């Protein structure tokens, strides 16, 4: 048994990775988790199926104030290393849309159960339902205080996550610990988050889900695009395509920019073909009501919304009364549906938090603090966040892997 005693604050993805590797190497490892269960956030990923990684992990899938920081961990723990690690645990993998990787069981609980089993098998001690209140360094030892207790350790790994999804027990305690050792915190903001709209009309579309091309407009300039499903809700819009552009939308809102989402609800049909299709439908309208005319062509809830908002005169009640100009207006609206965004759903529902511990003060090859020897940071607490698609969990595995290897190699 190695003489080093290591405390890991947080029993999430990166904390579990660290604990298993360090315990296998003979270190005494104690994981402190504020929740009553390990890996609660893992259990919620991929709608409970656990989008555990992605076959096409690259630097372009991540964001940070210093993106070079991410390069080394990704090179050390690429997809092949990930696959090898989890298959050795007994987890078979399947690949879904956009190279997203899931457990073959399609159950997030399989991932957590196998990780916890392995951690306990190799001797990791879990102390659950325990909130660490203070981390300090005195007389060449780290002291962790919780309740009326305190315990000494040789090294401490902060793997406590962020304040995204507090209902799962997450918090910003990691930022507080980092600050106590002099670390700068890049102001966090919600990412992979649903967007709110003050367009009252969109509330009538709640529940409508469509495939759409999404263009993000910041201060009247196009900024980012995505393609995928969009879900209308009582508060605004959600869906994979919205999550893909939400980071930039969230940041822009935080600095007071005007944010608009433009939807093309027929991304696979050109404007000219759409005009041709609608003109043909008009010829066969057979005295139909102007709303019923589009029945079977687009979602029922969308019909009234697009017709009432595209510029067609209100006094036209029959499809037969529509002319080519009306068709052009309708097509333009369906290919350029503008939704003003006034807020996000915030950390309450955000899958991840952007920002975090300033990576310029952390060694990328070890995850060790440059300000305090023996103090490490892994996972989401750092100023690194990934796109939607398994990248954030892969960062957790990769940063935990690099951290543990650096300690093992001492």
pLDDT, tens only, 119-135 = 999 999 999 999 999 99
- Which band of pLDDT confidence, cut at 50, 70 and 90, is reported for residue 166? confident
Residue pair 84/397 in contact (Cβ under 8 Å)? The answer is: no
Residues 332-349 pLDDT 10s: 999 999 999 999 999 999
For the beta sheet containing 53-54, the strands, ordered from the edge strand earlier in sequence to the opposite edge, are: 53-54, 100-103, 93-95
Q: Is the pLDDT of residue 1 over 60?
A: no
pTM of the prediction?
A: 0.91
Domain 5-189+353-408 has CATH 3.40.50.2300: no
Looking at residue 222, its pLDDT comes to 93
Query: What's the burial of 400, exposed, middle or buried (CB within 10 Å: 0-12/13-18/19+)?
Result: buried
Instruction: Answer yes or no: is pLDDT of 52 > 90.
Output: yes
Closest CA to 182 of 137, 120, 214: 137
pLDDT in the model for residue 283: 87
pLDDT category of residue 167 using cuts at 50, 70 and 90: confident
The model's confidence at residue 46, banded by pLDDT at 50, 70 and 90, is confident
Q: Higher confidence at residue 314 or residue 18?
A: 18
pLDDT above 70 (res 2): no
What span, in angstroms and rounded, lies between the C-alpha atoms of 78 and 106? Answer: 22
Q: Own/partner pairs for 299-304, CB < 8 Å, 24+ apart?
A: 299/208, 299/210, 301/204, 301/205, 301/207, 301/208, 302/205, 302/208, 302/210, 302/265, 304/204
At residue 287, the pLDDT reads 85
pLDDT in tens, 72-100: 999 999 999 999 999 999 999 999 989 99
Ranges of each domain in the chain: 5-189+353-408, 194-344
Distance of alpha carbon 88 from alpha carbon 372, whole angstroms: 34
The reported pLDDT for the residue numbered 374 is 98
Q: What is the pLDDT of residue 120?
A: 98
Helix 68-76 and helix 391-408, axial crossing angle in degrees, nearest 10: 80
Q: Which residue has the higher pLDDT, 123 or 1?
A: 123
Give the pLDDT score at 24.
Answer: 97
How far is Cα of residue 387 from the mean position of the Cα atoms in its chain? Answer: 6
pLDDT band, residue 304 (cuts 50/70/90): very high
The pLDDT value given to residue 297: 92
């Amino acid at each position: 048994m190695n003489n080093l005693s290591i405390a890991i604050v947080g029993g999430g993805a990166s904390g579990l990775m660290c604990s298993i590797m360090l315990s296998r190497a003979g270190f005494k490892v104690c994981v402190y988790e504020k929740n009553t269960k390990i890996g609660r956030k893992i259990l919620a990923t991929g709608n409970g199926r656990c989008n555990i990684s992605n076959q096409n992990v690259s630097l372009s899938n991540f964001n940070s104030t210093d993106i070079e920081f991410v390069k080394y961990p990704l090179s050390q723990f690429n997809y092949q290393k990930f696959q090898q690690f989890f298959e050795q645990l007994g987890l078979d993998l399947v690949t879904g849309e956009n190279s997203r990787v899931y457990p073959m069981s399609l159950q997030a609980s399989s991932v957590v159960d196998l990780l916890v089993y392995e951690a306990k098998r190799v001797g990791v001690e879990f102390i659950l339902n325990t909130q660490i209140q203070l981390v300090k360094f005195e007389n060449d030892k780290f002291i962790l205080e919780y309740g009326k207790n305190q315990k000494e350790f040789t090294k401490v790994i902060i793997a406590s996550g962020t304040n995204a999804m507090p209902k799962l027990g997450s918090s910003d305690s990691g930022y507080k610990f980092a600050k106590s050792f002099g670390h700068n915190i890049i102001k966090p903001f919600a990412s992979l988050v649903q967007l709110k709209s003050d367009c009252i009309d969109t509330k009538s579309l709640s529940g409508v889900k469509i495939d759409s091309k999404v263009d993000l407009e910041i201060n009247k300039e196009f900024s980012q695009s995505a393609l995928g499903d969009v879900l209308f809700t009582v508060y605004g819009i959600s869906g994979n395509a919205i999550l893909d552009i939400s980071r930039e939308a969230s940041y822009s809102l935080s600095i007071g920019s005007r944010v608009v989402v433009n939807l093309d609800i027929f991304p696979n049909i050109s404007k000219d073909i759409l005009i041709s299709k609608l003109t043909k439908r008009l010829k066969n309208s057979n005295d139909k009501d102007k709303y019923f005319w589009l029945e079977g062509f687009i979602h029922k809830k969308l019909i009234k919304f697009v017709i009432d908002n595209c510029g067609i005169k209100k006094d036209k009640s029959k499809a037969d009364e529509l002319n080519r100009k009306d068709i052009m207006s309708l097509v333009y609206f369906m290919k350029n549906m503008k939704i003003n965004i006034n807020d996000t759903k915030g950390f309450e529902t955000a899958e991840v938090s952007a920002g975090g511990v300033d990576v310029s003060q952390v060694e990328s090859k070890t995850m060790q603090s440059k300000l305090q020897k023996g103090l490490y940071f892994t996972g989401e607490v750092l100023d690194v966040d990934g796109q939607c698609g398994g990248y954030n969990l892969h960062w957790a595995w990769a940063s935990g892997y690099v951290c543990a290897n650096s300690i093992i190699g001492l």
